[in-house]
Homo-oligomer: A and B are copies of this chain.
């Protein structure tokens, strides 16, 4: 059975998250339904990141094995047609045939997330559910300084959801950059893998620094405490995007 890699965009506000769950519409189910409508195959697809309800993606990756050897562009176009008929807020940006060893989740070498904050007095209209609205002025330079204490290999227990199923709280954060352009603050986070709610937990904590409630060294202390109760409020899902997943060059 040929294996296909799918590159996927979705509006997370329309879904109960990536992962299939009874009684609620998930991105996984929407794509699996489209695959069945197109090919007749009843499949289970695996994604690189199990994004939560409300979290978006512009570069999610999944893999699927199909019974027939379809041209990859045909798979992309047919899935998009069926996703359109079902009115699901998902797009298949690309499909390509990959080696049987390719696994969207386990072959991933790095995941890249973007968190968008709109920092202005006025509520959001065009960006509602697409960004976190923070009316109080944030100091993005202080947020960036604080973020550098989190980069590197650490025990991220402080920034991990109580529901996280990972065996270890150790992760290596390769990048955590905070930049401002006008009213928009962007936080870019990269790592081989993240703990559950890690990006939103770090973002909520950095926002505290931006407001002046915490200093950058407070974030270092919170990290070193390895204590979930030391985390700032978890940022809402609206601003979070899975933007890219890296794989070894041959994929």
Contact = CB atoms under 8 A, between A and B. Distances in A.
B80 A11 contact: no
A245 interface: no
A35 B33 CA distance: 46
B128 A80 contact: no
Interface string A157-195: 000000000000000000000000000000000000000
Interface string A66-95: 000000010011001001100001111110
A126 interface: yes
A234 B10 CA distance: 28
B121 A76 contact: yes
A4 to B, nearest CB: 15
Q: Is the interface of A mostly helix, strand, loop or mixed?
A: mixed
A9 interface: yes
Interface residues of A, number: 26
Nearest to A83: B123
Given A89-B128, A128-B89, A123 B10 contact: no
Contact of A91 (B11, B83, B94, B123): B123
Contacts of A122: 9, 76, 80, 91-94
Contacts of A9: 122, 125-126
A76 B121 CA distance: 9
Contacts of A92: 122
Contact of A125 (B90, B94, B124): B90
A91 B121 CA distance: 10
10 contacts: A9-B122, A9-B126, A10-B126, A76-B121, A77-B121, A80-B121, A89-B125, A91-B123, A91-B125, A93-B122
Given A11-B125, A80-B123, A126-B130, 8 more contacts: A9-B122, A10-B125, A11-B126, A56-B126, A80-B122, A83-B123, A93-B120, A94-B122
